[in-house]
Amino acid sequence: MSEKEAVAITIRTALPSDAAGVLDHIRQTSLETGFMTVGAEGPGITPEEEKRHLENIDESENNFLLLALDDEIIIGMASIKGSASPKIKHIGELGISILKEYWGMGLGTLLVKDLIEWAESSQVIKRLELTVQKRNERAIHVYEKLGFEQEAIMKRGVKDDGVYLDVCLMSRLIGEAD
């Protein structure tokens, strides 16, 4: 796809019926880039398990999953994953994946902005955090542009193709502390 080609993308909340498409997206993005925490082994769950996972997200006050679709194909996913533990349920871990064919179109920025808006309206999330490989400079730039700050460098935070890589821990505070 050329960078100048116009694409009509739909962004919406994930539904339990999206389970198979979500798993296909995870499989494809894990093969396209070394930036994912899932590798060629894939997600390791069945569509039925993913459907239950999506139902749980829908019922949760601190979990959220957005899908970006080109026609009916999931081309991007962005999530906030929160804990059920009362002491840390205010922390949302941000995750994002975009098919390589759609990189450089501003989709990552748009999805992260949508996650931030959701977190601000949630009344539960007070801190967003993420980890990103230090070599993923494009993603770090997006996160910094949207108010995330680096908190730490985790040496040997991930192993990809037998090589240990450093990972940045980044965060963004949401709203005022209660």
Query: 62 is written with which tokens?
Result: 């601190």
SS3 157: strand
Rounded to whole angstroms, the Cα distance separating 62 from 125 reads 6
CB within 8 Å of 2: residues ≥ 6 apart? none
pLDDT at 43 over 80: no
pLDDT tens sequence across 79-101 = 999 999 999 999 999 999 999 99
pTM > 0.85: yes or no: yes
Beta strand pairing status for 91-98 and 73-82?
antiparallel
pLDDT tens sequence across 110-119 = 999 999 999 9
Rounded to whole angstroms, the Cα distance separating 91 from 80 reads 9
- Flag the least confident range among 23-37, 57-71, 126-140: 23-37
pLDDT of residue 38: 56
pLDDT of residue 4: 45
Residue ranges covered by each domain of the chain: 9-129
CA 146 to chain centre: 14
pLDDT tens sequence across 44-75 = 788 899 999 999 998 999 999 999 999 899 99
Q: Give percent of the chain above pLDDT 70.
A: 88
Furthest CA-CA distance within the chain? 47
Strands of the sheet with 149-160, listed across from one edge:
9-13, 64-70, 73-82, 91-98, 127-133, 163-173, 149-160
Does an H or E element contain 115, and which?
A: helix 107-122
**Mean pLDDT on 118-128:** 96
pLDDT at 152 over 90: yes
Rounded to whole angstroms, the Cα distance separating 53 from 64 reads 11
pLDDT of residue 171: 98
pLDDT of residue 8: 85
Beta bridge partners of 170: 130, 150
Tell me, what amino acid is at 26?
I
Beta strand pairing status for 163-173 and 149-160?
antiparallel
**Mean pLDDT on 8-17:** 94
Query: 93 is written with which tokens?
Result: 């871990």
Domain topology for 9-129 = Aminopeptidase (3.40.630)
